[in-house]
Amino acid sequence: MQCDLIIKGKYILPMDDKLTVIKNGFVAVLENKIVGLGAGDEIKNYQAKETIDVGNSIVMPGLVNTHTHAAMAYFRGLADDLPLDIWLNQHIWPAEAKYVNAEFVKQAGELACLEMIKAGVTTYNDMYFFGKSMAEPAIRAGLRALIGITILDFKNPTEGIGEAVSLAKQYKNNEFVKIILAPHAIYTCSKENLLKIKAVADAENMRLHIHVSETKKEVDDCLSAHGKTPVEYLDELEMLSDRLMAAHSVWLNDNDLEIYKNRGVKVAHCPISNMKLASGAAPLKRMLEMGITVGLGTDGAASNNTLDLFSDMRACALMHKVNNFDPTAISAKEVVKMATIGGAKVLGMDKEIGSLQAGKKADIITINLNKPHLAPVYNPYSHLVYCVSHDDVENVIVNGKVIMKNREVKTLDEEKILKRTSGFTV
Amino acid sequence: MQCDLIIKGKYILPMDDKLTVIKNGFVAVLENKIVGLGAGDEIKNYQAKETIDVGNSIVMPGLVNTHTHAAMAYFRGLADDLPLDIWLNQHIWPAEAKYVNAEFVKQAGELACLEMIKAGVTTYNDMYFFGKSMAEPAIRAGLRALIGITILDFKNPTEGIGEAVSLAKQYKNNEFVKIILAPHAIYTCSKENLLKIKAVADAENMRLHIHVSETKKEVDDCLSAHGKTPVEYLDELEMLSDRLMAAHSVWLNDNDLEIYKNRGVKVAHCPISNMKLASGAAPLKRMLEMGITVGLGTDGAASNNTLDLFSDMRACALMHKVNNFDPTAISAKEVVKMATIGGAKVLGMDKEIGSLQAGKKADIITINLNKPHLAPVYNPYSHLVYCVSHDDVENVIVNGKVIMKNREVKTLDEEKILKRTSGFTV
């Protein structure tokens, strides 16, 4: 059959259920979709306008970042190694109050998109303010994003909901962005506001993105105030469903885990952020054993300090091995699943993205293995988690379009963005 | 004054006691030594044959890798996510028995040196077999290395000592390598052999490099066999001194820590290896508080799986924060100290290397900050630990000689090494 693009490479990792590895294979793309993949002579069934032979490379689905605050890229490294309350109250929140406006969100969002493309992220789940300014960089960059309008009592309880509903209509048919509701957390949204948000989410069939049980303090405070854990409290409000994406979810007890499983709640696990802020280690092994859907998130660059999911993949495997005193805990394959098809499931997008499969959208990245730190290769999954760094991503394709070729980003002006960023000072 | 080379850059981090940051500064080099550093007009005091202006970069001492098995680079990713005994007995030791010979060690060592140069490591503490084959790649690469001849009862108890003594004489005046003794561990070296090794080390004034208290099992077994911890046992044998470098040192009790402090034992902390093999979290915070000298090590590429100290710096900060439930534990500055001057102290080389100071050897690296994941810059220490990846190292100078310029390694043939490596199969 005729197609637009063929990508040939040494290791095709479709991230299908069997975790197939196709050696010396190819992926064929027509318009914005994958139309076939295979190995050897099967390539003769396709006549492509363009063939990119990436040689000694891994070809795999684009990564899915399930929790971030993209525009916080401008606050990368602003304050580190501090207690959470000092970090938030004396550094992050004052900086946000002073600097964050529509233009800031657009400019910092462009920096974030640039960084994510160069690190192989093709879809991200954003949570911030100024929805239009959040959406525009993603569209310009050619990345897919869920744009979560953050809602807090002290800030925008009514306007936030209105903004989300209005923008959702505006971007209804957009290929790249979808507007969703992001109540910040149970400690920043009253019961009344949570219920309002839920009602709108139900009426408009919108996903919800919220921080849940990130710190022990959040759980202790909730137990004192409501006699329930944050998960139990949200369940009582009937907020929990398979449309709810719970970021962090570090401090979950047995009952919380059962509730997550029964309601089909999706989890955005953020290993580096949880380590850096000393929040704790989420019960990842148990969540996966119970069949709870988990993806990986970087969180914002103020608490990571990059948007590089490869670092989070590695941190995820390492953290849970040492935390469980078990080197078999959380294998490389499980981690790569979380960063791709798992993330797609968290975002409710697994019918479209997250694996290389005929009929799915062509969101594909290639990773160059011709590097000293990647030689020799015994197992591509192991390399992805324990060796590959974001700089090894060579080509990025989203919706059938090559948005980075040989590390040159085609959709954004890297030089201009870096120059503009260096002009931003706090 | 006349000098050979000036490196100019935006952030000079000399890693002196005050952790000075010289903005828009320079380092001046004459022959193999640093002759001065400063900022602004002070540069006019130096007339250089060559000036390298690295612009928006960090200029800092080369990194010191205090524990590795360089030649295991050929076993990178051979076996992962396995219990330690299966990993060792069914994968690593059989592969070593089958493949490791003098030629293997030389070739795999070249790959390791190439990887280390590209990751900004200028000095490493190696522990393996075939000492001449270990030394040659370091010399060819232009890297400094302590070459630890590994000694095990079942392998080379007498020959190993003889080899070390003989090679130590051969390389006595070599600028780059120094031969030392590396009894593998208390569970692989008998009391008699440890005492023989100690006697030779004392007579020849050689350093000792040994794995100590890496796993709980090692400690439990030692307690059963000797009624003492490995540290107490080694102390009884009078092995512990400021010439002994103890890798890992994960499972230390209060008395062990006191002994380390009193004897001046040096510690090679290996965060990624300890996490990946689920060995545990070393008491790093306490060691630093007690004034014990600690450097960072990658361990071998079979248990990391890279030789990238930037990844270990990040893992170190993250692991100890979450492990102590304290985001202030192990600050970025402390981590960078461990990776530079701390490592030099561990190796007994801090009079020569580890910081940028007039009179010290010119071992200098530069890190390019003109990257999306490194913008903006508020604090260069934070960036080094939480953002920089090995690919951001742009230039590497050892002993006054530029061995990597704009990421091109001058001393080794990258293409040839990668091609040869791809021909190695297990």
Q: What digits encode the pLDDT tens for the residues A256-282?
A: 999 999 999 999 999 999 999 999 999
Which residues of B are less than 8 Å from A83 in CB distance?
A: 327-328
pTM score, two decimals?
0.98
B285–chain A Cβ distance below 8 A for any pair: no
Radius of gyration (C-alpha) of chain A in whole angstroms: 21
B325–chain A Cβ distance below 8 A for any pair: yes
Provide the pLDDT for residue B251. 98
Residue type, B415: E
Provide the pLDDT for residue A77. 96
Which residues of B are less than 8 Å from A73 in CB distance?
A: 375
Provide the pLDDT for residue A38. 97
Provide the pLDDT for residue A85. 80
The domain ranges of chain A are 2-62+356-408, 63-346
Please report which confidence band the pLDDT of residue B84 belongs to, taking 50, 70 and 90 as the band edges.
Answer: confident
Could you confirm whether domain A63-346 is CATH 3.20.20.140? yes
Cα distances (Å, whole numbers) of residue B20 to A193, B13, B23, B38: 50, 6, 10, 11
A81–chain B Cβ distance below 8 A for any pair: yes
A87–chain B Cβ distance below 8 A for any pair: yes
C-alpha B187: how far from chain center:
24
pLDDT above 90: residue B316: yes
Provide the pLDDT for residue B83. 82
Provide the pLDDT for residue A272. 98
Report the percent of chain A where pLDDT is more than 70: 100
**Range with lowest mean pLDDT among A119-133, B81-95, B185-199, B408-422:** B81-95
Backbone angles phi, psi at A338, to 5 degrees: -60, -40
> Taking CB atoms and an 8 Å cut-off, how many pairs form between chains A and B?
198
pLDDT above 90: residue B88: no
pLDDT above 90: residue B211: yes
Report the percent of chain B where pLDDT is more than 70: 100
A415–chain B Cβ distance below 8 A for any pair: no
- Cβ–Cβ under 8 Å, residues A55 and A359: no
List B residues 222-281 in contact with A (Cβ-Cβ < 8 A).
272, 274-281
Q: What is the CATH number of domain A2-62+356-408?
A: 2.30.40.10
Q: What dihedral angle (degrees, nearest 10) is formed by the CA atoms of B127, B132, B133, B139?
A: 90
Query: CATH topology of B2-62+356-408 equal to that of B63-346?
Result: no
CA–CA separation, A245 vs B114, rounded Å?
A: 44
Please report which confidence band the pLDDT of residue B85 belongs to, taking 50, 70 and 90 as the band edges.
Answer: confident
Residue B379: closest CA among B91, B58, B104:
B58
pLDDT above 90: residue A426: no
List B residues 23-42 in contact with A (Cβ-Cβ < 8 A).
none
Provide the pLDDT for residue A88. 85
How does DSSP classify residue B420?
H
- Cβ–Cβ under 8 Å, residues A68 and A299: yes
Please report which confidence band the pLDDT of residue B227 belongs to, taking 50, 70 and 90 as the band edges.
Answer: very high
Q: Compute the average pLDDT of residues A119-136.
A: 98
Q: Which residue has the higher pLDDT, B385 or B85?
A: B385
Q: Compute the average pLDDT of residues A219-233.
A: 98
Residue B322: closest CA among A322, A308, A336:
A322
What ipTM was reported for this prediction? 0.97
Which residues of A are less than 8 Å from B327 in CB distance?
A: 81-84, 87, 276-278
Which residues of B are less than 8 Å from A418 in CB distance?
A: 370-372, 375
Alpha carbon of B250: minimum distance to chain A alpha carbons (Å): 12
